[in-house]
C-alpha cells in the first residue's frame, strides 16, 4: 500500500499513487478514495480482501464516523450513487437525517449503509463494522484529537459492537436506539423510539446529463439541495457560469471501485448539536438535521466509472466542473486551483489497453487521499 506524497493548495487536486502489478494482459482495477486517510486505507484493505465496492464504502463510512465525528456520524445521514456493472446503470439512494422538530434529527446513516450492503455487499456486515470498533478499542490512552476521552471512545466502541452483532435493528428498534433517544431527551432534545423507527430511505433514479459520448449521473444537489449539480455541469458544458453566491457544502466523501467495475460514491453529513455532546452512555454524538451534503457524480462509459465529489460555492462550480470533466474524460488529474472546491474520487480511463492506471484524487489539506491498485486478470 502506498501513501500520497506532496503538499499543494487546499483547492488543488492531488494525484493518487498506483501500484502496477503487471503490464500485460487484461487488468483488473480497484480503488478507494476519501476525505479521511484512515478510511481510504480501510477501503483498499477491504477491496484487496475480495470485498465489493459496497463493502468498502460501508467500512469507510464507519471509519469516518470514528475519525471525524464532527462531519460523519451514526446520528447523521447521506446519499450514494451506485454504478451496477451488470445493469450498466446507476442508482441513487438517499438517507437523510431529518428534523424531529426538537433540534435533534432522525438519523438515516445506518439505514442507508445497510441498504447498500444488502443489495451489493459480498462480505459480512459484522466485518465492516468491526474495523472501526477495533480502532476505538486499541486507540492510545488519553484524550484524542477529536476531544474524546478513553471512556467516551469505549462507549462508542460498545455501541458499534451492538450494531456489529445485532444489525441496525438494535438502533432503530432495540435497546441501543432507546438509550440514544433517552440520552438526547435528557440533553434537552426530545426524541422518541417511534421517531427513530420512522426514519427512512429512498432508492431512485439519479439526475443525468450527457457529456460527449459519456453519461454523468448526479446525487441530489449542492449546498443543502438548493442547487442541482446536474444543472452546474450542463451550464459548464456550454462554457457558462452559474450566478455567484450560494453556500458551500460540508460533510465528507467515500468512493470505491471493485474489480468487477462496480463503483460507489457517497457523501455523508453530520450536524452535531453541540461539541462533544453524546447521548447517555452510548458514546454516540447527538446530531441535528444534515444540510449542505457534498455533491457527488459518477461518469461512465462502459466499463468505466469515475466517481467525483465537488464541494464549493455555486459561483465557482461551473468553471470548476468544466475543467474537471475535460480532465476526467482524458483520464488526467486536474491541476487547476480554485478559490473554493475540492475533488475526491477515482479517475479511471475506459481504455485499459492504452491507459491502465486509475488515479485516486483527494484534497490533502482536508485530510484525505486516494489509492488504487491493478492486478492481472488473464
Is 254 in contact with 60 (CB distance < 8 Å)?
yes
Helix (H) or strand (E) holding 65: helix 53-67
What's the predicted TM-score (pTM) here?
0.83
Q: Round to whole Å and give the CA distance between 270 and 293.
A: 9
Please give the residue that has the higher pLDDT: either 73 or 2: 73
In this prediction, residue 188 carries a pLDDT of 93
**pLDDT exceeds 50 at position 9:** no
Question: ∠ CA(17), CA(23), CA(26), 5° rounding?
Answer: 105
The strand pairing partners of 227, in sequence order, are 222
pLDDT of residue 123: 97
pLDDT averaged over every residue in the chain: 75
Three-state secondary-structure class, residue 349: coil
**Distance between first and last Cα of the chain:** 23
pLDDT confidence tier of residue 259, bands split at 50, 70 and 90: confident
Mean pLDDT of 178-186: 96
Q: Exposed (0-12), middle (13-18) or buried (19+): which is 354, by Cβ within 10 Å?
A: exposed
Nearest to 266 by CA among 56, 70, 86: 56
Integer-rounded Cα Rg, in Å, for the chain is: 20
Residue the block writes with cell 484525505: 368
- Max Cα distance, the chain (Å): 62
Q: Report the alpha-carbon distance of residue 275 to residue 287 in Å, rounded.
A: 10
Report how far Cα 304 is from the mean position of its chain's Cα atoms: 19
Q: Quick one: pLDDT band at residue 239, thresholds 50, 70, 90? A: low
Q: What band does 147 get if pLDDT is binned at 50, 70 and 90?
A: confident
Mean pLDDT of 123-132: 97
Amino acid at each position: 500500500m502506498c501513501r500520497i506524497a506532496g503538499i499543494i493548495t487546499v483547492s488543488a487536486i492531488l494525484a493518487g499513487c498506483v501500484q502496477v502489478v503487471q503490464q500485460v494482459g487484461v487488468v483488473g482495477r480497484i480503488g478507494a478514495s476519501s476525505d479521511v486517510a484512515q478510511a481510504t486505507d480501510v477501503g483498499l484493505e477491504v477491496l484487496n480482501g475480495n470485498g465489493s465496492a459496497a463493502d468498502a464504502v460501508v467500512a469507510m463510512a464507519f471509519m469516518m464516523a470514528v475519525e471525524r465525528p464532527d462531519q460523519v456520524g451514526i446520528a447523521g445521514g447521506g446519499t450514494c450513487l451506485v454504478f451496477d456493472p451488470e445493469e450498466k446503470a446507476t442508482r441513487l439512494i438517499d438517507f437523510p437525517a431529518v428534523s424531529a422538530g426538537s433540534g435533534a434529527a432522525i438519523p438515516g446513516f445506518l439505514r442507508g449503509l445497510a441498504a447498500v450492503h444488502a443489495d451489493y455487499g459480498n462480505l459480512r456486515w459484522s466485518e465492516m463494522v468491526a474495523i472501526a470498533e477495533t480502532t476505538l478499542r486499541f486507540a492510545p490512552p488519553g484524550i484524542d484529537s477529536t476531544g474524546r476521552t478513553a471512556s467516551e471512545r469505549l462507549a462508542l466502541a460498545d455501541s458499534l459492537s451492538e450494531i456489529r452483532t445485532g444489525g441496525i435493528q438494535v438502533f432503530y428498534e432495540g435497546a441501543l436506539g432507546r438509550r440514544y433517544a433517552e440520552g438526547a431527551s435528557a440533553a434537552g432534545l426530545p426524541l422518541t423510539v417511534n421517531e427513530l423507527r420512522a426514519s427512512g430511505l429512498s432508492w431512485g433514479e439519479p439526475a443525468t446529463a450527457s457529456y460527449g459520448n459519456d453519461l454523468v449521473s448526479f446525487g441530489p444537489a449542492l449546498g443543502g439541495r438548493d442547487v442541482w449539480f446536474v444543472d452546474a455541469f450542463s451550464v459548464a458544458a456550454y462554457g457558462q457560469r452559474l450566478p455567484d453566491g450560494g453556500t458551500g457544502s460540508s460533510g465528507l466523501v467515500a468512493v470505491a471501485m471493485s474489480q468487477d467495475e462496480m463503483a460507489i460514491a457517497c457523501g455523508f453529513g453530520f450536524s452535531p448539536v453541540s461539541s462533544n455532546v453524546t447521548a447517555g452512555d452510548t458514546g454516540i454524538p447527538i446530531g441535528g438535521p444534515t444540510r449542505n451534503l457534498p455533491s457527488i457524480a459518477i461518469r461512465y462509459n462502459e466499463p468505466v466509472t469515475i466517481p467525483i465529489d465537488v464541494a464549493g460555492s455555486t459561483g465557482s462550480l461551473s468553471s470548476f466542473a468544466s475543467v474537471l470533466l475535460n480532465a476526467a474524460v482524458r483520464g488526467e488529474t486536474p491541476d487547476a486551483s480554485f478559490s473554493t472546491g475540492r475533488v475526491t474520487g477515482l479517475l479511471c480511463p475506459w481504455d485499459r489497453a492504452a491507459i491502465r492506471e486509475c488515479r485516486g484524487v483527494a484534497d490533502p489539506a482536508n485530510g484525505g487521499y486516494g489509492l488504487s491498485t491493478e492486478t492481472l486478470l488473464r
